[in-house]
Amino acid sequence: MAPGMRIAAAWSWRVLVVAGVVALVLFLVVQLRYIVVPLLVAMLLAALLVPFSNWLQRHRWPRWLAIAVSEVGILAILTGLIWLTVRTIISGYPALVDQTLLRWEDLKQFLLDSPLHLSADDINAWAEGFLESLRADTSALWSSALAFGSGLGHFLAGLLLVLFATLFILIDGRGIWNWIVRLFPRNARAALVGGGEAGWITLSTFVRVQVLVAFIDAVGIGLGAFILGLFYGGFPLVIPIAIVVFLGSFIPVVGAVVSGAIAVFVALVFMGPWQAFVMLLIVIGVQQLEGHVLQPFLVGNAVKIHPLAVVIVVAAGGFLAGIPGALFAVPLAATLNAIIGYIARGDWRTHPHPSVADVIPPTRGRTARDR
Protein backbone atom coordinates (compact mmCIF):
# COMPACT_ATOMS: atom_id res chain seq x y z
CA MET A 1 0.00 0.00 0.00
CA ALA A 2 1.28 3.44 -0.88
CA PRO A 3 2.42 5.64 2.05
CA GLY A 4 -0.23 8.23 1.21
CA MET A 5 -2.99 5.64 1.45
CA ARG A 6 -1.68 4.38 4.79
CA ILE A 7 -1.66 7.92 6.19
CA ALA A 8 -5.16 8.60 4.81
CA ALA A 9 -6.47 5.33 6.25
CA ALA A 10 -4.91 6.04 9.64
CA TRP A 11 -6.48 9.48 9.79
CA SER A 12 -9.80 8.17 8.48
CA TRP A 13 -10.43 5.65 11.24
CA ARG A 14 -9.39 8.16 13.87
CA VAL A 15 -11.77 10.77 12.45
CA LEU A 16 -14.55 8.16 12.37
CA VAL A 17 -13.92 7.28 16.02
CA VAL A 18 -14.00 10.94 17.07
CA ALA A 19 -17.17 11.54 15.01
CA GLY A 20 -18.78 8.49 16.60
CA VAL A 21 -17.98 9.73 20.11
CA VAL A 22 -19.34 13.21 19.31
CA ALA A 23 -22.51 11.70 17.84
CA LEU A 24 -22.95 9.52 20.92
CA VAL A 25 -22.52 12.53 23.22
CA LEU A 26 -25.06 14.55 21.22
CA PHE A 27 -27.49 11.63 21.29
CA LEU A 28 -27.19 11.35 25.06
CA VAL A 29 -27.63 15.10 25.47
CA VAL A 30 -30.84 14.99 23.42
CA GLN A 31 -32.17 12.00 25.35
CA LEU A 32 -31.30 13.60 28.70
CA ARG A 33 -32.25 17.14 27.71
CA TYR A 34 -34.58 17.57 30.69
CA ILE A 35 -31.51 17.15 32.90
CA VAL A 36 -28.77 18.63 30.70
CA VAL A 37 -30.45 21.98 30.01
CA PRO A 38 -31.19 22.79 33.70
CA LEU A 39 -27.64 21.76 34.62
CA LEU A 40 -26.21 24.09 31.97
CA VAL A 41 -28.41 26.93 33.26
CA ALA A 42 -27.18 26.16 36.78
CA MET A 43 -23.57 26.30 35.56
CA LEU A 44 -24.13 29.75 34.04
CA LEU A 45 -25.80 31.02 37.21
CA ALA A 46 -23.08 29.52 39.40
CA ALA A 47 -20.37 31.10 37.25
CA LEU A 48 -22.02 34.44 37.98
CA LEU A 49 -22.77 33.86 41.66
CA VAL A 50 -19.66 32.03 42.93
CA PRO A 51 -17.37 35.10 42.59
CA PHE A 52 -20.02 37.23 44.31
CA SER A 53 -20.43 34.71 47.13
CA ASN A 54 -16.65 34.50 47.57
CA TRP A 55 -16.45 38.30 47.66
CA LEU A 56 -19.04 38.43 50.44
CA GLN A 57 -17.16 35.77 52.40
CA ARG A 58 -13.89 37.71 52.04
CA HIS A 59 -15.71 40.64 53.62
CA ARG A 60 -16.50 38.50 56.68
CA TRP A 61 -20.00 37.46 55.77
CA PRO A 62 -20.94 34.03 57.16
CA ARG A 63 -20.66 31.40 54.45
CA TRP A 64 -24.28 30.31 54.71
CA LEU A 65 -25.50 33.90 54.53
CA ALA A 66 -23.34 34.73 51.50
CA ILE A 67 -24.68 31.69 49.64
CA ALA A 68 -28.28 32.46 50.62
CA VAL A 69 -28.02 36.12 49.59
CA SER A 70 -26.46 35.12 46.26
CA GLU A 71 -29.16 32.65 45.25
CA VAL A 72 -32.14 34.54 46.68
CA GLY A 73 -30.85 37.75 45.13
CA ILE A 74 -30.64 36.34 41.60
CA LEU A 75 -34.11 34.80 42.03
CA ALA A 76 -35.53 38.15 43.13
CA ILE A 77 -33.93 39.96 40.16
CA LEU A 78 -35.19 37.45 37.58
CA THR A 79 -38.66 37.34 39.12
CA GLY A 80 -38.84 41.13 39.13
CA LEU A 81 -37.81 41.38 35.47
CA ILE A 82 -40.36 38.76 34.41
CA TRP A 83 -43.15 40.34 36.47
CA LEU A 84 -42.39 43.83 35.16
CA THR A 85 -42.26 42.61 31.56
CA VAL A 86 -45.53 40.68 31.79
CA ARG A 87 -47.30 43.53 33.56
CA THR A 88 -46.23 46.19 31.07
CA ILE A 89 -47.00 43.99 28.04
CA ILE A 90 -50.48 43.15 29.33
CA SER A 91 -51.15 46.83 30.04
CA GLY A 92 -50.04 47.97 26.61
CA TYR A 93 -51.18 45.08 24.42
CA PRO A 94 -54.55 46.61 23.41
CA ALA A 95 -52.86 49.88 22.43
CA LEU A 96 -50.21 47.95 20.48
CA VAL A 97 -52.87 46.06 18.51
CA ASP A 98 -54.86 49.22 17.74
CA GLN A 99 -51.79 51.15 16.62
CA THR A 100 -50.53 48.24 14.51
CA LEU A 101 -53.85 48.07 12.64
CA LEU A 102 -53.80 51.86 12.17
CA ARG A 103 -50.27 51.78 10.74
CA TRP A 104 -51.26 48.91 8.46
CA GLU A 105 -54.09 50.96 7.01
CA ASP A 106 -51.70 53.88 6.47
CA LEU A 107 -49.25 51.54 4.70
CA LYS A 108 -51.99 50.13 2.48
CA GLN A 109 -53.08 53.60 1.46
CA PHE A 110 -49.49 54.60 0.75
CA LEU A 111 -48.99 51.55 -1.49
CA LEU A 112 -52.25 52.16 -3.32
CA ASP A 113 -51.21 55.77 -4.06
CA SER A 114 -47.63 54.82 -4.99
CA PRO A 115 -46.35 54.47 -8.60
CA LEU A 116 -46.19 50.68 -8.12
CA HIS A 117 -49.82 50.37 -9.32
CA LEU A 118 -50.73 47.85 -6.66
CA SER A 119 -54.31 46.88 -6.06
CA ALA A 120 -56.00 46.07 -2.77
CA ASP A 121 -56.10 42.40 -3.76
CA ASP A 122 -52.33 42.37 -4.37
CA ILE A 123 -51.67 43.94 -0.97
CA ASN A 124 -54.03 41.54 0.82
CA ALA A 125 -52.47 38.52 -0.92
CA TRP A 126 -48.99 39.67 0.06
CA ALA A 127 -50.10 40.27 3.65
CA GLU A 128 -51.72 36.82 3.88
CA GLY A 129 -48.58 35.16 2.56
CA PHE A 130 -46.44 37.08 5.03
CA LEU A 131 -48.68 36.15 7.96
CA GLU A 132 -48.70 32.51 6.89
CA SER A 133 -44.90 32.36 6.75
CA LEU A 134 -44.74 34.17 10.10
CA ARG A 135 -47.10 31.64 11.66
CA ALA A 136 -44.99 28.78 10.31
CA ASP A 137 -41.76 30.30 11.62
CA THR A 138 -43.37 31.08 14.98
CA SER A 139 -44.70 27.56 15.39
CA ALA A 140 -41.29 26.13 14.54
CA LEU A 141 -39.65 28.52 17.00
CA TRP A 142 -42.03 27.59 19.81
CA SER A 143 -41.74 23.88 19.09
CA SER A 144 -37.97 24.07 19.31
CA ALA A 145 -38.17 26.27 22.40
CA LEU A 146 -40.51 23.82 24.13
CA ALA A 147 -38.70 20.71 22.92
CA PHE A 148 -36.60 20.60 26.09
CA GLY A 149 -39.49 21.08 28.49
CA SER A 150 -43.05 20.59 27.32
CA GLY A 151 -45.70 21.40 29.87
CA LEU A 152 -45.77 22.97 33.28
CA GLY A 153 -44.51 19.81 34.98
CA HIS A 154 -41.27 19.72 32.98
CA PHE A 155 -40.75 23.43 33.56
CA LEU A 156 -41.19 23.17 37.32
CA ALA A 157 -38.98 20.08 37.51
CA GLY A 158 -36.29 21.86 35.50
CA LEU A 159 -36.59 24.97 37.68
CA LEU A 160 -36.16 22.94 40.87
CA LEU A 161 -33.15 21.17 39.35
CA VAL A 162 -31.61 24.53 38.45
CA LEU A 163 -32.10 25.85 41.99
CA PHE A 164 -30.72 22.74 43.69
CA ALA A 165 -27.77 22.38 41.31
CA THR A 166 -26.85 26.06 41.69
CA LEU A 167 -27.11 25.77 45.48
CA PHE A 168 -24.85 22.72 45.68
CA ILE A 169 -22.29 24.27 43.33
CA LEU A 170 -22.20 27.32 45.59
CA ILE A 171 -21.83 25.12 48.66
CA ASP A 172 -19.30 22.55 47.44
CA GLY A 173 -18.43 23.18 43.80
CA ARG A 174 -14.77 22.30 44.23
CA GLY A 175 -15.62 19.09 46.06
CA ILE A 176 -17.93 18.07 43.20
CA TRP A 177 -15.20 18.76 40.65
CA ASN A 178 -12.60 16.84 42.65
CA TRP A 179 -14.96 13.85 42.77
CA ILE A 180 -15.34 13.99 38.97
CA VAL A 181 -11.57 14.19 38.51
CA ARG A 182 -11.04 11.10 40.70
CA LEU A 183 -13.07 9.06 38.18
CA PHE A 184 -10.23 9.41 35.65
CA PRO A 185 -6.79 7.73 35.65
CA ARG A 186 -4.26 9.22 38.04
CA ASN A 187 -1.92 10.34 35.24
CA ALA A 188 -4.66 12.45 33.66
CA ARG A 189 -5.84 14.20 36.83
CA ALA A 190 -3.36 17.08 36.82
CA ALA A 191 -4.32 18.02 33.25
CA LEU A 192 -8.02 17.75 34.09
CA VAL A 193 -7.69 19.90 37.20
CA GLY A 194 -5.82 22.64 35.34
CA GLY A 195 -8.05 22.48 32.28
CA GLY A 196 -11.20 22.54 34.40
CA GLU A 197 -10.04 25.58 36.35
CA ALA A 198 -9.06 27.33 33.10
CA GLY A 199 -12.51 26.62 31.68
CA TRP A 200 -14.21 27.86 34.86
CA ILE A 201 -12.24 31.12 34.78
CA THR A 202 -13.26 31.62 31.15
CA LEU A 203 -16.92 30.83 31.83
CA SER A 204 -17.06 33.14 34.86
CA THR A 205 -15.49 35.96 32.87
CA PHE A 206 -17.86 35.40 29.97
CA VAL A 207 -20.98 35.46 32.15
CA ARG A 208 -19.97 38.58 34.09
CA VAL A 209 -19.04 40.48 30.95
CA GLN A 210 -22.19 39.34 29.15
CA VAL A 211 -24.37 40.63 32.00
CA LEU A 212 -22.56 43.98 31.97
CA VAL A 213 -22.76 44.31 28.19
CA ALA A 214 -26.46 43.35 28.22
CA PHE A 215 -27.11 45.98 30.89
CA ILE A 216 -25.27 48.66 28.91
CA ASP A 217 -27.19 47.71 25.74
CA ALA A 218 -30.50 47.90 27.60
CA VAL A 219 -29.66 51.27 29.15
CA GLY A 220 -28.43 52.70 25.84
CA ILE A 221 -31.40 51.61 23.74
CA GLY A 222 -33.87 52.30 26.57
CA LEU A 223 -32.45 55.80 27.00
CA GLY A 224 -32.79 56.39 23.27
CA ALA A 225 -36.43 55.26 23.44
CA PHE A 226 -37.01 57.60 26.39
CA ILE A 227 -35.50 60.55 24.54
CA LEU A 228 -37.75 59.80 21.57
CA GLY A 229 -40.71 59.89 23.96
CA LEU A 230 -41.93 56.33 23.51
CA PHE A 231 -45.01 56.65 25.69
CA TYR A 232 -48.54 55.98 24.58
CA GLY A 233 -51.55 56.73 26.72
CA GLY A 234 -49.41 56.69 29.83
CA PHE A 235 -47.97 53.30 28.87
CA PRO A 236 -44.14 53.37 29.34
CA LEU A 237 -42.84 51.59 26.25
CA VAL A 238 -39.27 52.23 27.39
CA ILE A 239 -39.46 49.56 30.13
CA PRO A 240 -40.41 46.53 27.99
CA ILE A 241 -37.99 47.59 25.25
CA ALA A 242 -35.08 47.80 27.72
CA ILE A 243 -35.96 44.43 29.30
CA VAL A 244 -36.29 42.70 25.92
CA VAL A 245 -32.91 44.11 24.85
CA PHE A 246 -31.32 42.99 28.12
CA LEU A 247 -32.64 39.43 27.88
CA GLY A 248 -32.00 39.19 24.15
CA SER A 249 -28.36 40.19 24.55
CA PHE A 250 -27.61 36.81 26.16
CA ILE A 251 -28.18 35.10 22.79
CA PRO A 252 -25.24 36.27 20.63
CA VAL A 253 -25.95 37.73 17.18
CA VAL A 254 -29.56 36.54 17.01
CA GLY A 255 -30.69 38.18 20.25
CA ALA A 256 -29.31 41.59 19.31
CA VAL A 257 -30.98 41.52 15.89
CA VAL A 258 -34.37 40.37 17.20
CA SER A 259 -34.49 42.74 20.19
CA GLY A 260 -33.36 45.66 18.01
CA ALA A 261 -36.03 44.84 15.43
CA ILE A 262 -38.68 44.80 18.18
CA ALA A 263 -37.57 48.24 19.39
CA VAL A 264 -37.75 49.66 15.86
CA PHE A 265 -41.16 48.05 15.28
CA VAL A 266 -42.61 49.53 18.46
CA ALA A 267 -41.29 52.97 17.50
CA LEU A 268 -42.81 52.59 14.02
CA VAL A 269 -46.21 51.55 15.35
CA PHE A 270 -46.56 54.17 18.06
CA MET A 271 -44.65 57.13 16.61
CA GLY A 272 -44.23 56.83 12.85
CA PRO A 273 -41.56 56.09 10.22
CA TRP A 274 -39.18 58.96 11.00
CA GLN A 275 -39.03 58.13 14.71
CA ALA A 276 -38.58 54.47 13.78
CA PHE A 277 -35.65 55.46 11.56
CA VAL A 278 -34.08 57.37 14.45
CA MET A 279 -34.67 54.32 16.70
CA LEU A 280 -32.94 52.16 14.10
CA LEU A 281 -29.93 54.50 14.14
CA ILE A 282 -29.86 54.33 17.95
CA VAL A 283 -29.99 50.52 17.92
CA ILE A 284 -27.24 50.27 15.32
CA GLY A 285 -25.11 52.81 17.19
CA VAL A 286 -25.44 51.00 20.52
CA GLN A 287 -24.69 47.61 18.96
CA GLN A 288 -21.68 48.98 17.10
CA LEU A 289 -20.43 50.51 20.35
CA GLU A 290 -20.85 47.13 22.02
CA GLY A 291 -19.16 45.14 19.28
CA HIS A 292 -16.20 47.42 18.61
CA VAL A 293 -15.60 49.12 21.97
CA LEU A 294 -17.25 47.34 24.90
CA GLN A 295 -16.53 43.74 23.94
CA PRO A 296 -12.80 44.26 23.14
CA PHE A 297 -12.32 46.54 26.15
CA LEU A 298 -14.20 44.44 28.71
CA VAL A 299 -13.50 40.95 27.42
CA GLY A 300 -10.06 41.41 25.91
CA ASN A 301 -8.68 37.95 25.15
CA ALA A 302 -10.74 36.23 27.85
CA VAL A 303 -13.17 34.44 25.56
CA LYS A 304 -11.63 35.41 22.26
CA ILE A 305 -13.46 33.54 19.50
CA HIS A 306 -13.48 34.69 15.91
CA PRO A 307 -16.78 36.35 14.91
CA LEU A 308 -17.23 33.77 12.14
CA ALA A 309 -16.89 31.00 14.72
CA VAL A 310 -19.50 32.74 16.90
CA VAL A 311 -21.97 32.87 14.01
CA ILE A 312 -21.31 29.21 13.13
CA VAL A 313 -21.68 27.88 16.69
CA VAL A 314 -24.83 29.95 17.30
CA ALA A 315 -26.34 28.70 14.03
CA ALA A 316 -25.35 25.10 14.80
CA GLY A 317 -26.67 25.34 18.35
CA GLY A 318 -29.96 26.82 17.18
CA PHE A 319 -30.32 24.16 14.48
CA LEU A 320 -29.64 21.30 16.88
CA ALA A 321 -31.46 22.52 19.99
CA GLY A 322 -33.42 25.68 19.17
CA ILE A 323 -33.25 28.59 21.60
CA PRO A 324 -31.36 26.65 24.33
CA GLY A 325 -28.74 25.65 21.76
CA ALA A 326 -28.24 29.25 20.63
CA LEU A 327 -28.02 30.39 24.26
CA PHE A 328 -25.39 27.86 25.35
CA ALA A 329 -23.40 27.67 22.11
CA VAL A 330 -20.93 30.51 22.70
CA PRO A 331 -20.16 29.95 26.43
CA LEU A 332 -19.73 26.23 25.73
CA ALA A 333 -17.42 26.90 22.79
CA ALA A 334 -15.41 29.47 24.78
CA THR A 335 -15.05 27.10 27.75
CA LEU A 336 -13.98 24.15 25.58
CA ASN A 337 -11.54 26.40 23.73
CA ALA A 338 -9.93 27.43 27.03
CA ILE A 339 -9.77 23.84 28.35
CA ILE A 340 -8.34 22.33 25.17
CA GLY A 341 -5.88 25.17 24.69
CA TYR A 342 -4.61 24.99 28.25
CA ILE A 343 -4.12 21.22 28.14
CA ALA A 344 -2.57 21.28 24.65
CA ARG A 345 0.00 23.89 25.67
CA GLY A 346 1.12 21.68 28.55
CA ASP A 347 0.86 24.47 31.12
CA TRP A 348 -0.68 22.02 33.59
CA ARG A 349 2.73 20.36 34.04
CA THR A 350 4.19 23.42 35.77
CA HIS A 351 1.03 25.34 36.74
CA PRO A 352 -1.73 22.87 37.62
CA HIS A 353 -3.82 25.66 39.18
CA PRO A 354 -4.02 28.46 36.58
CA SER A 355 -4.75 32.04 37.51
CA VAL A 356 -6.64 34.63 35.49
CA ALA A 357 -3.34 35.88 34.04
CA ASP A 358 -2.54 32.37 32.82
CA VAL A 359 -5.90 31.86 31.10
CA ILE A 360 -6.42 35.42 29.83
CA PRO A 361 -3.24 36.44 28.00
CA PRO A 362 -2.35 40.10 27.53
CA THR A 363 -2.87 41.77 24.17
CA ARG A 364 0.58 40.82 22.90
CA GLY A 365 -0.15 37.16 23.50
CA ARG A 366 2.26 36.64 26.41
CA THR A 367 1.22 35.29 29.77
CA ALA A 368 2.20 36.89 33.03
CA ARG A 369 4.96 34.31 33.48
CA ASP A 370 6.56 35.27 30.16
CA ARG A 371 6.96 38.93 31.01
Domain boundaries, the chain: 33-139+148-183, 188-366
Q: Specify the pLDDT at position 188.
A: 85
Q: Specify the pLDDT at position 339.
A: 87
pTM of the shown model: 0.73
What distance in Å separates the CA atoms of residue 164 and residue 172, rounded to the nearest whole number?
12
Q: Specify the pLDDT at position 370.
A: 43
What is the tens place of the pLDDT at every residue in 335-365?
888 888 888 888 778 777 887 776 766 544 4
In the chain, which stretches have pLDDT less than 50?
148-149, 363-371
Q: Specify the pLDDT at position 297.
A: 64
What is the tens place of the pLDDT at every residue in 83-131?
877 777 777 667 667 777 777 777 777 767 777 666 777 777 777 776 6
3-class DSSP string for the chain: CCHHHHHHHHHHHHHHHHHHHHHHHHHHHHHCHHHHHHHHHHHHHHHHHHHHHHHHHHCCCCHHHHHHHHHHHHHHHHHHHHHHHHHHHHHHHHHHHHHHHHHHHHHHHHHHHCCCCCCHHHHHHHHHHHHHHHHHHHHHHHHHHCCCCCHHHHHHHHHHHHHHHHHHHHHHHHHHHHHHHCCCCHHHHHHHHHHHHHHHHHHHHHHHHHHHHHHHHHHHHHHHHHHHCCEECCEECHHHHHHHHHHHCCCCCHHHHHHHHHHHHHHHHHHCHHHHHHHHHHHHHHHHHHHHHHHHHHHCCCCCCCHHHHHHHHHHHHHHHHHHHHHHHHHHHHHHHHHHHHHHHCHHHCCCCCCHHHHCCCCCCCCCCCC
Q: Specify the pLDDT at position 139.
A: 54
Q: Specify the pLDDT at position 329.
A: 82
